[in-house]
């Protein structure tokens, strides 16, 4: 009632596209206390409920105690706020940067006013903690003698490892990439989540607490699954959902068409190594077309602009969202409204318009005489119900266009986990090829083998991976010890 919502300042798009640095600027403590004062300390706070409506998160999936640490910040009690934040969140520096903040979509104040800036307050609490030296290694006082292998060092794997290590188990995390972190390391560009200053900073704390990371090692290939099953008391699968959705239309075999994650991974490796590697894909001087309108597509936009692309176009098969909540999208559902994310904002600054073309699908790839992509044929679509009552996209005659393209990036989501490891283990799977394991139980068809995160639930948010990583640690600890004190 007294204060307006204020978002943190950012480096201008014109300046930030010249480098790979994070572009969010710190908010002064006084302003943060004012923003925290906007929290109404609701008797029934929806911000930390972690419910799902319409297939999307409403409120915080890890049940952050948001009204409590908002009040502590309002009173200037930063250390106490950090302790409260760490009760539910192992890595708030990650969620404070990359989470889409379903908590803000469910903020009660948001019914009538702009919601509380929960995400920025969370980010500021943990950064104050790091700056003040409050985040320190805290190894367990005693070990249980039990050994656990965690396969995959992404968000779910890191949470599982952290929690299991806290319980006193000896945890070894296997990662097939050259650096730990999974999606946090290679799936999210450096300007959204700094690898040296943020990701590696936390990984160093985990190592100092006793977590063992084994990189450049693919389980089932470099290490037989039998070795893990025999050498560890329990195994936790957190391999993610990494099989990308393809687009099998004419011309798909042309050169210059890549999956988005290959493009992003090689780029981050180049940033960290200081020079491009053999798998590097450059957008410099090219007309870039990105197929897919989600977060990965946005990351491809921002990365292509930093490469110095000639133009960038983003094809989005869904309609353009409304500027305000639609009648069928009420609070506390996640607001499906039009917004400019950082990549689109940079494209507007660089090229003068939002790069997204809504209700548009690619119909054919066109190549030159050397087998290189040179253009994409597109058409507008309309969503109509089929005989089964499901909406399907139908091309509209007469809306065909040809867009020049020397680089095409496929960012259409993921179909599920890669199957060879699951085949080697002989695990049961569900109808979507995910590991079959009940939510909040996480036990697979093999006793002592657990699964959590995207390899169990399918492609989802980082914060849901945190939820499942903490949950699988609790159930694994219960399996090993007969009970668990993990939250």
The per-residue pLDDT for 43 is 86
Per the listing, tokens 């680089």 go with 407
Q: What is the pLDDT of residue 475?
A: 98
CA atoms within 13 A on the CB side of 217: 19
pLDDT(361) > 90:
yes
pTM: 0.95
Cα distance between residue 367 and residue 144, in whole Å: 61
pLDDT value at residue 74? 97
pLDDT for residue 1 is more than 90: no
147-151 and 234-237: which strand pairing? parallel
Among 68, 169, 179, residue whose Cα is nearest residue 125: 68
Amino acid 388: pLDDT: 86
- The predicted pLDDT at position 45 comes to 92
What is the model's pLDDT at position 162? 98
Q: Per residue in 269-313, pLDDT tens? A: 999 999 999 999 999 999 999 999 999 999 999 999 999 999 999
The pLDDT value recorded for residue 141 is 95
Separation CA 340–CA 347 (nearest Å): 10
- Return mean pLDDT, the chain: 96
Alpha-carbon gap, residue 413 to 337, rounded angstroms:
20
Report the percent of the chain where pLDDT is more than 70: 100
Find residue 381's DSSP bridge partners. 395
Report whether pLDDT(54) > 90: no
pLDDT band at residue 413 using 50, 70 and 90 as cut-offs = very high
Q: What is the pLDDT of residue 90?
A: 97
> Do the bridges between strand 373-385 and strand 401-404 make them parallel or antiparallel, or are there none, so unpaired?
antiparallel
pLDDT band at 51 (very low <50, low <70, confident <90, very high): confident
Q: Measuring CA to CA, which residue among 392, 424, 458, 480 is closest to residue 167? A: 480
- Tokens matching residue 406: 């020397």
Give yes or no for a contact between 117 and 74, defined as CB atoms under 8 angstroms apart.
no
Compute the average pLDDT of residues 347-376. Answer: 97
What is the average pLDDT across 411-433?
Answer: 96
User: Would you state the pLDDT for residue 78?
Assistant: 98
User: What is the per-residue pLDDT across 131-162, written as a single tens digit (0 to 9) for each?
Assistant: 999 999 999 999 999 999 999 999 999 999 99
User: Which tokens in the block code for residue 41?
Assistant: 């300390």
Count other C-beta atoms under 10 Å from residue 394's C-beta: 14
How far apart are the C-alpha atoms of 318 and 292, rounded to whole Å? 9
Q: For the segment 220-273, what is each residue's pLDDT rounded down to a tens digit?
A: 999 999 999 999 999 999 999 999 999 999 999 999 999 999 999 999 999 999
State mean pLDDT over 475-483: 98
Query: Hey, what domains does the chain have and what are their CATH numbers?
Result: 13-131 (1.10.1060.10), 147-242+415-481 (3.50.50.60), 246-412 (3.50.50.60)
At 44 the pLDDT is 86
Contact 37, 31 (CB under 8 A): no
- Tens digits of per-residue pLDDT, 325-341? 999 999 999 999 999 99
The residues pairing with 281 across neighbouring beta strands, listed in sequence order, are none
How many Cβ atoms sit within 10 Å of the Cβ of residue 49? 18
Question: 431-465 burial by CB neighbour count: b if 16+ within 10 A, else e?
Answer: eebbbbbeeeebbbeeebbbbbbbbbbbbbbbbbb
Does the pLDDT at position 443 exceed 90?
A: yes
Q: Packing angle between helix 78-86 and helix 66-74, nearest 10 degrees?
A: 170
Q: Is the pLDDT of residue 95 over 80?
A: yes
Which residue has better confidence, 51 or 176?
176
């Amino acid at each position: 009632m007294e204060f307006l919502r204020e978002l943190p300042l950012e480096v201008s798009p014109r300046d930030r596209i010249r480098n790979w640095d994070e572009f969010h600027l710190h908010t002064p403590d006084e302003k943060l206390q004012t923003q925290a004062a906007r929290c109404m300390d609701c008797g029934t706070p929806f911000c930390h409920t972690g419910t799902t409506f319409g297939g999307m998160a409403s409120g915080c999936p890890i049940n952050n105690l948001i009204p409590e640490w908002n009040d502590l910040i309002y009173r200037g009690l930063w250390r106490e706020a950090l302790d409260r934040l760490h009760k539910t969140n192992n890595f708030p520096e990650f969620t404070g940067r990359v989470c889409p903040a379903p908590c803000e979509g469910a903020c009660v104040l948001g019914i009538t006013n702009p919601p509380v800036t929960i995400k920025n307050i969370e980010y500021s609490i943990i950064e104050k903690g790091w700056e003040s030296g409050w985040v320190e290694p805290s190894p367990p006082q005693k070990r249980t003698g039990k050994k656990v292998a965690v396969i995959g060092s992404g968000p779910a794997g890191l949470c599982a490892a952290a929690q299991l290590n806290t319980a006193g188990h000896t945890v070894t995390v296997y990662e097939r990439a050259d650096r730990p972190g999974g999606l946090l390391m290679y799936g999210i560009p450096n300007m959204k989540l700094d690898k040296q200053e943020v990701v590696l900073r936390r990984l160093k704390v985990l190592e100092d607490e006793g977590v063992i990371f084994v990189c450049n090692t693919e389980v089932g290939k470099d290490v037989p699954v039998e070795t893990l099953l025999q050498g560890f008391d329990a195994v936790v699968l957190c391999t993610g959902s990494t099989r990308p959705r393809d687009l099998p239309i004419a011309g798909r075999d042309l050169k210059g068409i890549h999956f988005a994650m290959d493009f992003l991974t090689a780029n981050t490796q180049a940033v960290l190594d200081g020079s491009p590697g053999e798998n590097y894909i450059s957008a410099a001087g090219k007309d870039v077309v990105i197929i897919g309108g989600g977060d990965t597509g946005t990351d491809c936009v921002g990365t292509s602009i930093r490469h110095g692309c000639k133009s960038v176009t983003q094809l989005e098969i869904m309609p353009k969202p409304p500027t305000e909540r639609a009648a069928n999208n009420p609070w506390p559902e996640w607001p499906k409204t039009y917004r400019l994310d950082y990549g689109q904002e940079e494209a507007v600054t660089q090229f003068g318009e939002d790069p997204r073309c809504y209700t548009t699908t690619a119909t054919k790839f066109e190549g030159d005489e050397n087998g290189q992509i040179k253009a994409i044929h597109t058409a507008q679509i309309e969503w109509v119900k089929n005989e089964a009552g499901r909406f399907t996209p139908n091309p509209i005659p007469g809306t065909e266009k040809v867009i020049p393209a020397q680089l095409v990036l496929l960012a259409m989501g993921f179909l599920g986990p890669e199957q060879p490891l699951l085949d080697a283990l002989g695990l049961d799977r569900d109808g979507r090829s995910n590991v079959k394991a009940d939510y909040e139980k996480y036990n697979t068809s093999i006793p002592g083998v657990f699964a959590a995160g995207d390899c169990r639930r399918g492609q989802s948010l980082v914060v849901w991976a945190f939820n499942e990583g903490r949950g699988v640690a609790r159930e694994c600890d219960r399996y090993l010890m007969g009970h668990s004190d993990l939250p």
